[in-house]
Structure 1
């Protein structure tokens, strides 16, 4: 990404010879890569119809448990939109008949990771990854959710989750372009079509949902015969069969459910749809309804989307972003649902460009691609990139995209957990002719062309101010079970051994081995970060970093992108507040040419004038987008409020910088920054790989060992600027037509990231961090005013802030701040940590450790944070006994010593006409600011 004071540095850079790297070897063929995609499984069905899939993976003492139900938004009749999603919330966050406190507390206490639930058009799922010794508890809880939920559902709990879901809807709707999807669905699908309404549903239908409606919805759809259960990880099929039968076998079959069928509609003629939003630029959309994931055409449509606008080297990128630069970003996607699919194109028009002309060119480009199809090379790059992504996604056993997800989707939709093999075979069979044929069949039909121009939004459909009194519903009988089993003996964390090497130029290599998947992750960290941005030119680093992958002295941006795709590699340059990183994720079979590319990007940036102008315009567009989004507006304001504009932390942590500064940057600024900061004497090299360090060190030495520091001085950061004294007040940033307000509270703590903060962070889990925190339970679960909020110690290398993030419905903004103030005041005085809260926090943190480093990405991040915060290599293995020694008194003392909520400043992004009177009633000073 990316002052004349650095002319000397620029001269040195230009005079330096280019690095000559080894000739890239040929990439591994796709057939070889596909062999890395393998998920052995066994399956069986209980007498009640529950289909069970088991996968054994012994890499870590954890097991993923995932229950998928064959019901989603497409199955909702008229007047009941949003019911599947609402019931997901009820199942996830409310008590069951035998767990009156709900599932969240025991899941946290057993150290579950990746626990959540989701709903989409075609399915509802619940999932968690737990320590092996807690598997019985997890299966008991999941079976109680399946077979023993209705007796615990009452009107109060329904109303709570209704409020939460409506705030989830507001939160999404409040984003730039947040109302487009609703309009697209209504235009693409005729009335009564199962895919015509969104998953979140309408405010009116959510308002109208009665307790009896939801009871019947559960009876109709959540029986074991409409579900798939996947158990994946540290378990074998025989053990899984015994345990699943024990916990699920007694649940009776439910109603026979036939998921809704749906045809693929065709528009009678092109529809041009114009909308408005408070956004900085016009956005163009093109959307078709196409076949879904079980169709023979699915692989061809996926490839077509990647080549047209999904790959970094895509046709639309080359024509509109890198070509005539009429757009700042493009994207194409193929969403494959059970019955249908959606093929969509999105283009962000560059400000001050003729949007009509860009729209016409977009149509011409799509028509040309449909008529002529992709090349064989484009298909090969797409297939390799896709395989690489799938290999990486299979590293965890559960979560949002691990092995359990692949198996569950295959069984639920295709009746085959191994359906992924057919998908891989179909991808391998794609040809230019087959893609052209499929596009000719489906993308020549009339298109929905949506355009969003800057302006006032169309009217927003809010929830009803009041709902009619609910009809009384008789309580349902509760079926008691034997008590939930306890947790067995936990295995201690065995963090991978950390090894070190040093290249001949002094760069330290910090390494750990992970052999689950054949990949290598490399991070070259530089002691820079957003804090290194010049105070008078914020955004310099972001532009410089973006340009690293836009061209080297030997390759153009397109050539870099194409090489990444051929290798199945990803080279990315990014920055945190304290560190700047150029990272590589590579298939180990293609590691050497991937390392060549990484080294060239780091060492040989070209900073060509045309690339600078293009990336500058994209960064300016990103700044404008950031200033239009509630999260961006708040995140730009809060650091300046907390640290002051002179402090290295007193700037937007996104690193996008200021419009005027980015407009003024020139090549000398960028080369100068690169020379001062991106250099071997300012670098550490972190590696996690399935290959041993002894094999990797010569490869790294060949590419980085001869890299010499330039003659110019290395950059330094000064943290001497005084931090403003905390002063309680409200800073209001007006964002009209916002159905939600974003509240961000902050204080600067008298600690740094290098201090010992284990006790403080444990105490903060009680009040601020996590679903079970007091502030989230109060404002989300009890009052239903938010989709979720948190307060966290945001670790930085130097003086660290505490930040509360709370999106709430607009009419509850003032009350929410009052609740937050009261909660923190009480916690830091007479309402400290209870023994139960201590036990839950300690048990959860200790028990989740063995499952926290299941992936190579997690291990790599642990290596990097250990280095940043000065921790020993065995830091993570020391935590369990430290947690176990904590007492409520020690946790209280740590929080009271460091947190001073009386001096918290509150940044609020919302509709001032609605929220300012609420804020003034708090008795705090209210300062109104424009977005910065």
Structure 2
């Protein structure tokens, strides 16, 4: 996977799979469309039925297959002039031989390094307006995705066909070595996280040596070191033929138009060998197995896991639903008993990671500090055993199914990307031989009975379990040696010299780039405005692509408000909103959301506190009633406050165990001063002392001070008219009376400490990577206009895959998995920030390189024509992609409101970009993006890092390790 600045194993491990039904692999099933006139109806008192919701989901498609075996699926969706291009190759980590683990993923990276006719895939695609230009690898497949303007579809198909049929002549030893370094830093980045070695241990414990699903997708360091050009050629020839490919085109395209385009670009590519499907059945352990690992973690994490059936097995959907009821829903059995009632855990989960040939079923528990581990584990086992014996209630099962289907209706908005409609159709064909497999699964889900779920759970979870405990202590195992085949102590098969020069290779004829058609100006949704009886303003952008509505209730508060209260107050108060009202308990709130297919969430950004409702249009009225009760009538019961306070103390410990969390917490107080609004810790958690002092009285006072009509606004995006919306909002919030207290004023213009450039080193022993952050305050606020030149200059420097910083440290040096710089946009003072996780032994070199790049822009390296085209024309062409979903439109409207921009800002953005030239970007960089006054924060192993800092012309301050269990931060 090529996303930068994300968890290193996202997309190549189980890390992202610990989620409820709506987020697991089955959650990708119903990504489709709802036809006009099919929207389920329900009155305010009666939610739409599950059958109504499921019956409405559909993804019409057509298929055709070329003579060389390439199968194409076409889905037409004309809501925007964009097309999602999704390419699935039937090869993944499970196909790797011994001694070559991690190779499928390494090869995925190489596929972006250029082909015989394309020097760099990202440059022309981004210049044409592509978004989500990416790839990922898992055990079963490798995929490549981009979403392009309709006029750039020929270009995208040319690119995909060139690397499918014309790749090997461009693969050099230098490219292989550089991408090897990138992937190894991706592995280090994942391993460096708390619990970062857990899934290696799970796969080792569940599967015997040689089982295709045993080794991790990221592989072992030794195997990555051994990969050679000979391996690259063999892997490509054996697996990347068109007969092993599913191409999905979804969006502003139809089959009659697509067929000649696909034939033109892919038709001449010859067939290759068929990928061989290895036997990979679920494994029943002969007896229960337990393993304990010590790691630099704040709390003990317990796993109970089993291997399960293939995703097409009749039990698969039932197991997924059952695991959701057990530990995926907000009202799950594990949450209600272990977290809320008995308070033995601070967090729990259960999930089914569904794969082509088997699944992994797991339940997890983070033991509450101070609780006896044995007692907590025994209770976990009792709850699982009882659930296996009795199964879910009909109401639990209906709630799980409704929540999952609701989430998928929201996913209908996306045509491309990793979870859009193209991916749904491609996976159905690849794994089940049927693009419409999502229909089969949805119908099974809707028809499930509690007895069927109980029977499936009993069949699979009464088998011996693999138990894993990650306990606090010194890390004693090395991630570099984990993730491989499992018998590395024995002799591996002979391998070619990884550095040996390859023999000459015959390449194909030269191919010319197709032209890219112009795009029309962005048609941003019209924003209607109104006002409730009590004066709360309402903004609505109506969008009818899916029958869902997003409602955002925003207050002028946020993390910055903690400067007038106690650190952590705002986020803690918001976290308590869903923990009980004067008429509903936390469990009742969770259950009601699930029955409605709704979601109410509360969060704090720097300037704003927000409560957001995602609701089915048919269930909007009762969903708004629930939201209003949560916002207006929180109970702040002492028992709930005590429980949430303990959970947030545990969350703080988790942050203090994370290298990125430590760096982020340090930066804001350094730049802005700890007593100013913007100097609060960016996670909003406060510190141990402030959390320990939190009471129901202090939270009730904060609620009255900040969450009140006079400080509120409502923004809505989705399938509703103002005529219907306004009375519903007025009924929910229009009669809410303000307490008429004097409005609190956040001192956004408070004096900021004079910059003191230096390196602050936070010692985190045994870290294979260092996290480098750097920043300084800029002489402007978020509401200062005409910042487009600066924002585009920052894209050239560090914001994006093709930026100078990322291309240098990642693609050229191979020292990092991804580097990013950003210009923050709060209401008050802006700041410039950089983040660069790098391998530990290159920390000093990376800082020197960062400083060199900053100082060279623009004095030695002004913006060149290719960079200017990428960030101006590329952004103009990509504007329709940026507003495909309701959430994207909501975010844009909220940003406009926060920063004082007009509603038509994004409609005029193209003309603003067109007015900018290289000189404008150079001037913005000269004024704001140099290294002067930067403060660096490094979280890494002091014994490795400190000697490297000699010679850097900055003073160094050392902060000793933070004991996340006992020390004050």
TM-score per shorter chain, which class? over 0.9
1:619-653 CA distances to partner (integer Å, 9 max, x unpaired)?
A: 10000100000111011001011111111111211
**1:875 aligned partner:** 905
Residue 536 (structure 1) shift: 5.8
Q: How does 1:790-829 map to 2 (within 5 A)?
A: 790-829=820-859
Instruction: Output aligned runs, 1:378-389, within 5 Å.
Output: 378-389=396-407
Q: How does 1:322-341 map to 2 (within 5 A)?
A: 322-341=340-359
2:7 paired residue number: none
Q: Could you tell me which residue of structure 1 aligns to residue 116 of structure 2?
A: 97
Equivalent-residue separation in structure 2 for 1:339 and 1:506 (angstroms):
57
Q: Does 1:478 align with 2:478?
A: no
Q: Is the 8 A contact 1:88 1:118 kept in 2?
A: yes
**1:407 & 1:46 partners in 2: Cα distance?**
18
1:294 is aligned, of 283, 295, 312, to 312
Matched, 1:60 2:89: no
Aligned mates of 1:35, 1:928 — CA distance in 2:
61
- Write out aligned runs for 1:220-231 (5 A): 220-231=238-249
- Is the Cα–Cα contact under 8 Å of residues 54 and 443 in structure 2 kept in the other structure? no
The answer for the alignment partner of 1:590 in structure 2 is 619
| 640-649 vs 565-574, which moves further | 640-649
Match of 1:3 in 2: none
**What displacement does 1:393 show?**
1.2
Partners of 1:36 and 1:391 within 8 A in 2 = no
> Residue 51 in 1 paired to residue 66 in 2?
no
Cα distance in 1 between the residues matched to 2:760 and 2:97: 45
Structure 1: gaps (5+ residues): 1-21
Distance apart, 1:461 and its partner CA: 5.0
Write the distance in 1 (CA, Å) between the matches of 2:252 and 2:498.
Answer: 50
More displaced stretch, 434-443 vs 251-260: 251-260
**Deviation of residue 469 (structure 1)?**
6.7
For the pair 1:761 / 2:791, whether they are aligned, the reply is: yes
Tell me, in whole angstroms, the C-alpha distance in 2 between the residues paired with 1:24 and 1:373. Answer: 31
Deviations 1:591-645 (A, max 9, x none): 1100101111111111011110010000100001000001110110010111111
Shift of the alpha carbon at 1:218? 0.9
Pick aligned residue for 1:711 from 711, 732, 740: 740
Q: Structure 1: how far apart are the matches of 2:516 and 2:563? A: 53
The one-character-per-residue Cα deviations of 1:413-463 (angstroms, maximum 9, x if unpaired) are 111111100000111121111111111111000001100110011231548
* Structure 2 equivalent of residue 11 of structure 1: none
Unmatched 5+ stretches in structure 2: 1-41, 483-495, 963-968
* Segment drifting more, 69-78 vs 452-461: 452-461
User: Deviation string for 1:263-308 (max 9, x for gaps)?
Assistant: 1111111111100111111110010000021110011101111110
Q: Which of residues 607, 630, 638 is equivalent to 1:609?
A: 638
SS at structure 2 position matched to 1:533: helix
Are the equivalent residues in 2 in contact too, given 1:274–1:452 (CA < 8 A)? yes
Q: Is the contact made by 2:311 and 2:357 (CA closer than 8 Å) also made in structure 1? A: yes
| CA distance 1:497–1:24, change in 2 (3 Å) | closer
C-alpha distance in 2 between matches for 1:690 and 1:590 = 12
2:677 partner SS:
coil
Matched, 1:693 2:713: no
Q: Is contact 2:220-2:480 (8 Å) kept? A: no
Residue 519 (1) aligns with residue 548 (2): yes
Equivalent residue in structure 2 for 1:864, among 894, 904, 908: 894
| TM-score, normalised relative to structure 2 | 0.92
Structure 2 Cα separation of the partners of residues 476 and 469 of structure 1 = 18
**Counterpart selection for 1:434 from 426, 441, 452:** 452
CA separation in 2, counterparts of 1:802 and 1:899? 7
Rounded Cα–Cα distance in structure 2 between residues aligned with 1:715 and 1:549:
25
Matched, 1:26 2:46: yes
The aligned runs of 1:624-773 (5 Å cut-off) are: 624-755=653-784, 756-773=786-803
* Paired residues of 2:83 and 2:150 also in contact (CA < 8 A): yes
2:197·2:479 contact (CA, 8 Å) conserved in 1? Answer: no
TM-score (norm 1): 0.96
Q: Conserved in 2, the CA contact under 8 Å of 1:491 and 1:850? A: no
Structure 1 position 507 matched with structure 2 position 536: yes
1:337-376 matches, cutoff 5 A: 337-376=355-394
CA offset digits 1:536-563 (Å, max 9, x no partner): 6101111110110110111000000000
Where 1:35 maps in the other structure, the secondary structure is helix
Q: Are 2:184 and 1:166 aligned? A: yes
Q: Which residue of 2 aligns with 1:9?
A: none
Specify the SS of the correspondent of 1:723.
Answer: coil
Deviation of the 1:533 alpha carbon: 1.1
Q: CA RMSD in A?
A: 1.4
Asked whether the equivalents of residues 743 and 808 of structure 1 are also in contact (C-alpha less than 8 Å), the reply is yes
| Aligned-partner Cα distance in 1 for 2:467–2:866 | 56
CA distance in 2, matches of 1:536, 1:862: 30
Residue of 916, 922, 925 corresponding to 1:895? 925
Partners of 2:541 and 2:707 in 1: CA distance: 24
* Residue 127 of structure 1, aligned match among 130, 137, 145: 145
SS at match of 2:97: coil
Contact 1:740 1:807 in 2 (8 A): yes
Between the aligned partners of 2:51 and 2:252, the Cα distance in structure 1 is 29
| In 2, Cα distance between equivalents of 1:32 and 1:381 | 14
User: SS where residue 861 of structure 2 aligns?
Assistant: coil
1:833 to 863, 867, 878: 863
- The alpha-carbon distance between structure 1 residues 501 and 536, as it changes in their structure 2 partners (threshold 3 A), is closer
Q: Does 1:38 align with 2:58?
A: yes
Asked if residue 394 in structure 1 is aligned to residue 423 in structure 2, the reply is no
- Would the aligned equivalents of 2:794 and 2:929 in 1 still touch at CA under 8 Å? no
Tell me the distance in 2 between the aligned counterparts of 1:401 and 1:34: 18
Structure 1 ranges of 4+ moved more than 4 A? none
Separation of aligned partners in 1, 2:949 and 2:423: 45
Cα separation, 2, equivalents of 1:141 and 1:388: 36
* 1:24 Cα offset (Å): 5.7
In structure 1, what is the equivalent of residue 36 of structure 2?
A: none
For residues 735 and 703 of structure 2, the distance between their equivalents in structure 1, rounded to whole angstroms, comes to 18
Q: Within 2, Cα distance between the matches of 1:116 and 1:836? A: 21
Structure 1 match to 2:488: none
- 1:70–1:259: 8 Å Cα contact kept in structure 2? no
Q: How far off is 1:481 after superposition?
A: 3.7
**Counterpart in the other structure of 2:477:** 459
Rounded Cα–Cα distance in structure 2 between residues aligned with 1:675 and 1:291:
52
Shift of 1:713: 2.4
Measure the CA separation in 2 of the matches of 1:702 and 1:35: 31
> For residues 272 and 801 of structure 1, what CA distance do their matches in structure 2 show?
49
Q: Give the conservation status (yes or no) of the 8 Å contact 2:563–2:675.
A: no
Alpha-carbon distance in structure 1 between the residues aligned to 2:779 and 2:56: 49
Distance (Å, rounded) in 2 between the aligned partners of 1:469 and 1:449: 38
Q: Secondary structure at the match of 1:213?
A: helix
CA contact (8 A) 2:83 2:149 kept: yes
In the alignment, the residues of structure 2 paired with residue 919 and residue 691 of structure 1 have an alpha-carbon distance, to the nearest angstrom, of: 58
Q: Deviations over 1:32-79 (max 9, x none)?
A: 111332110001111000010000000000000010011111111111
Tell me by how many angstroms 1:475 deviates.
3.4
Q: 1:665: how far off? A: 1.2
> Aligned to 2:261, which of 213, 233, 243?
243
Which residue matches 1:411?
A: 429
What's 2:331 paired with? 313
The DSSP-based 3-state class of the residue aligned with 2:897 is helix
| SS of alignment partner, residue 48 of structure 2 | coil
Q: Secondary structure at the match of 2:430?
A: helix
Q: Look up the SS of the partner of 1:114 in the other structure.
A: strand
Deviation larger for 429-438 or 569-578: 429-438
